[in-house]
């Protein structure tokens, strides 16, 4: 080895020769070598530490908590925006396990594609096709299955549905199967929950279909005796003959409040403490073409009668089990204000001329009556029949989505605005036109502001509303996020820029009434838009750093805002805000600081004007950071980038803290008395 290493080079004195010249014998050479190596590393370490010290910046943050400068933040400031995108609803928060449950996804012309349904057996034993024989007039397509075999294979032949990339079936849980069936002869059907290849049987039951010409409703509970994350629903028989199926539904029994939503995903929403729910879009509301826009009327009533529709913007079918009523119910269950975004006669590719918009205006007035009307009103009675006799308190509506530049938007907008104002004068109406830099040319209570940008640009946009007029409509930042290159699939860097942007919204909350991140959810199997706040599949979920960032703003709505001043040569990389808030027992001064730069910062926080003393006991520091600014969370490491909370023993009116590079720090300083917050 020595010869090989020295080949072609001058072979100088060996390490043993050097030791001898230094008076080191072979007996004490090894320990002295270890000592020399230690001293060498120590020297390097000292140099590194010195370098780090030199790279540490200093800054002072002054918080003026005097009552005369305090300002109440709107109760509605931070909420959520839900759009049917990325299979966020169908195959997402809506717990329906069957995909294309009514066989309508292939279109009205039959025979049609029945994807993702498939057959069990082969074409010599079973023949399936769609026809137009359903008992439901609004979704007329059904599946006709003809069993051809006299001696069918063991286990029978039939059809199966894999759900949305596999059904999550868990041991001990109950699943409710509902389907509509017709057969001219009495037939036994076996309904089963199995593994994706059909070999593992998780639950099974036999149902008898009496031979008659009428459709019957079959209901069956299935109790899982095992767990499989990629299961499927099977319907099989051994009897030769014909059976029709329609509206096949499988729902887990344990949904949130029994209202059909996946409990674990709703829990993620609840942890944000949202104050409003904007729904159902987004571009989903507009449609690529008006014929594919979301229609509220077709999404209410019994689920089995809803026709569903193809969302041509995000390119998938929804059966609209998650419809207008369910969104209103979700808003109520979350304790949030519902914000109904409706189509104003404009899609991405076609528009209704203002002279012909009257039927669309009436349709929207009917939708509001459905939500707010008495149980005796025309549309309120439909809501009551669905199980909610009390009105839903809709106080906000958005007239379209991102349609300001369209030819007929302003004309259509005024028709909707005037009709709603006359019928419901208390409803706050939201324009699609941005009023942050120039006044609107039409009446509005709020205006939409959407921003998707790179991290550096969004960080610098924290001062966007500093220059906005203090009179006129309020801003609704209904969609914001870092995206594209430096967003990754949800990076720390993105969350830091977004946090800085939100501190600017807090600062300007006298003219910014609401804000929500977008998109909220993504099914990992259909990431049409990237990044998103919450990632899930059939059985797992995690929050991206952007989700966790929002948890540090969840106490801001309704809190008291206090002005802050940063003094530092490094201030261009810092953002901060301060609020006082209280939980059920204690009051806090929360100071949030974002260090967007690559240097650590020694920060002195100086607070004046507080009407209460700061108590170190109960004070905490919460920090969102990671080793690499592009770090992300994942199913394999869902907590790689999450806030870490610790006690803040040096909490005081003047204190010194260290901000890690590329970090978001939130300091909750416990107040010994609650006089200031009690006055909010």
Catalytic residues: 402
Quickly tell me which residue has 């610098």 as its tokens.
Answer: 460
Q: Which of 217, 122, 219, 105 is nearest to 164 (CA)?
A: 105
Which uninterrupted H or E stretch holds 252? strand 241-252
Q: Which of 611, 630, 581, 606 is nearest to 672 (CA)?
A: 611
Q: How many CA atoms lie within 13 A of 111 on its CB side?
A: 9
Do residues 327 and 339 lie in contact, with contact meaning Cβ atoms separated by under 8 Å? no
Rounded to whole angstroms, how far apart are CA atoms 145 and 418?
53
Rounded to whole angstroms, how far apart are CA atoms 393 and 391?
6
Q: Which two tokens stand for residue 477?
A: 């930042």
Q: Which two tokens stand for residue 549?
A: 């960032």
Do residues 146 and 244 lie in contact, with contact meaning Cβ atoms separated by under 8 Å? no
Do residues 442 and 410 lie in contact, with contact meaning Cβ atoms separated by under 8 Å? yes
Q: Is the alpha carbon torsion for 403, 405, 406, 411 positive or negative? A: positive
DSSP 8: T
Q: Which two tokens stand for residue 618?
A: 């109960």
Q: Is the alpha carbon torsion for 564, 454, 433, 467 positive or negative? A: positive
Do residues 152 and 238 lie in contact, with contact meaning Cβ atoms separated by under 8 Å? yes
Q: Which of 212, 210, 206 is nearest to 192 (CA)?
A: 206
Alpha helices in 56-143 (DSSP H): none
In 41-166, DSSP assigns E strands to 57-64, 71-72, 80-81, 118-120, 126-131, 142-147, 157-161
Rounded to whole angstroms, how far apart are CA atoms 12 and 23?
19
Radius of gyration for the chain, computed over Cα atoms and rounded to the nearest angstrom:
31
In 527-611, DSSP assigns E strands to 534-536, 541-543, 560-562, 564-567, 574-582, 587-595, 601-608
156 torsion bin: left (phi>0), alpha (psi -120 to 50), beta (else): left
Q: Which two tokens stand for residue 679?
A: 């006055």
Which uninterrupted H or E stretch holds 264? helix 263-270
Q: Which of 426, 439, 610, 567 is nearest to 511 (CA)?
A: 439
Helix, strand or coil for residue 451? strand
Do residues 313 and 348 lie in contact, with contact meaning Cβ atoms separated by under 8 Å? yes
In 163-227, DSSP assigns E strands to 167-169, 174-183, 187-194, 201-209, 212-223
DSSP 275: S
DSSP 136: -
Rounded to whole angstroms, how far apart are CA atoms 240 and 246?
20
Do residues 204 and 269 lie in contact, with contact meaning Cβ atoms separated by under 8 Å? no
């Amino acid at each position: 080895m020595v010869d090989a290493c020295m080949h072609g080079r001058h072979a100088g004195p060996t390490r043993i020769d050097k030791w001898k010249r230094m008076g080191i014998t072979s007996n004490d050479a090894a320990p002295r070598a270890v000592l020399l190596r230690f001293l060498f590393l120590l020297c390097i370490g000292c140099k590194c530490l010195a370098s780090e010290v030199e790279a540490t910046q200093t800054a002072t943050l002054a918080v003026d908590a005097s009552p005369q400068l305090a300002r109440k933040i709107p109760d509605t400031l931070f909420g959520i925006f839900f759009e049917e995108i990325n299979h966020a609803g169908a195959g997402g928060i809506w717990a329906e396990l069957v995909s294309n449950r009514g066989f309508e996804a292939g279109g009205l012309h039959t025979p049609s594609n029945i994807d993702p349904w498939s057959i069990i057996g082969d074409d010599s034993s079973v023949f399936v096709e769609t026809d137009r024989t359903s008992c439901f007039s609004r979704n007329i397509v059904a599946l006709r299955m003809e069993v051809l075999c006299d001696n069918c294979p063991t286990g029978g032949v039939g059809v199966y549905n894999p759900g949305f990339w596999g059904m999550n079936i868990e041991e001990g849980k109950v699943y409710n199967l509902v389907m509509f069936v017709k057969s001219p002869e009495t037939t036994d059907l076996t309904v089963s929950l199995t593994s994706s290849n059909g070999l593992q049987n998780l639950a099974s039951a036999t149902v008898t279909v009496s031979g008659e010409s009428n459709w019957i409703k079959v209901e069956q509970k299935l109790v899982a005796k095992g767990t499989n994350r990629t299961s499927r629903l099977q319907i099989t028989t051994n009897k030769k003959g014909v059976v029709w199926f329609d509206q096949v539904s499988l729902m887990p029994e344990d949904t949130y409040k029994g209202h059909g939503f996946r409990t674990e995903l709703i829990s993620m929403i609840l942890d944000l403490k949202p104050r409003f729910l904007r729904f159902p879009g987004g571009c989903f509301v507009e449609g690529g073409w008006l014929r594919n826009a979301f229609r509220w009327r077709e999404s209410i009533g019994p689920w089995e009668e809803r026709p569903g529709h193809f969302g041509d913007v995000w390119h998938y079918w929804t059966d609209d089990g998650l419809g207008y009523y369910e969104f209103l119910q979700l808003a109520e269950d979350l304790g949030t204000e519902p914000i109904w975004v409706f189509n104003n006669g404009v899609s991405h590719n076609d528009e209704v001329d203002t002279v012909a918009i009257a039927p669309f205006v009436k349709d929207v007035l009917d939708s509001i009556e459905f939500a707010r009307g008495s149980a005796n009103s025309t549309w309120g009675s439909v809501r009551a029949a669905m199980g909610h006799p009390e009105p839903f308190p809709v106080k906000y509506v958005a007239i379209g989505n991102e349609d300001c530049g369209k030819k007929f938007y302003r004309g259509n907008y005024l028709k909707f605005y005037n009709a709603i104002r006359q019928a419901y004068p208390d409803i706050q109406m939201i324009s699609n036109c941005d009023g942050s830099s120039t006044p609107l040319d039409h009446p509005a209570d709020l205006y939409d502001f959407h921003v998707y940008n790179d991290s550096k640009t969004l960080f610098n946009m924290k001062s966007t509303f500093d220059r906005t007029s203090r009179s006129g409509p309020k801003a609704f930042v209904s969609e914001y996020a870092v995206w594209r290159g430096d967003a990754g699939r949800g990076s720390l860097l993105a969350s830091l820029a977004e946090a800085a942007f939100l501190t600017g919204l807090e600062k300007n909350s006298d003219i910014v009434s609401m804000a929500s991140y977008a998109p909220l959810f993504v099914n990992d199997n259909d990431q049409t838009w990237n990044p998103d706040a919450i990632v899930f599949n059939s059985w797992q979920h995690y929050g991206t750093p952007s989700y966790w960032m929002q948890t540090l703003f969840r106490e801001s709505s309704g809190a008291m805002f206090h002005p802050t001043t940063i003094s530092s040569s490094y201030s261009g990389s810092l953002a901060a805000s301060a609020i006082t808030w209280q939980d059920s027992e204690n009051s806090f001064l929360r100071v949030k600081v974002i260090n967007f730069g690559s240097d650590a910062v020694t920060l002195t926080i100086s607070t004046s004007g507080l009407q209460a003393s700061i108590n170190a006991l109960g004070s905490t520091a919460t920090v969102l950071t990671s080793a690499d600014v592009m770090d992300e969370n994942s199913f394999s490491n869902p907590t790689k980038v999450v806030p870490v909370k610790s006690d803040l023993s040096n909490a005081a009116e003047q204190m010194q803290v260290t901000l890690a590079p590329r970090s978001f720090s939130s300091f909750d300083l416990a107040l010994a008395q609650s006089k200031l917050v009690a006055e909010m």
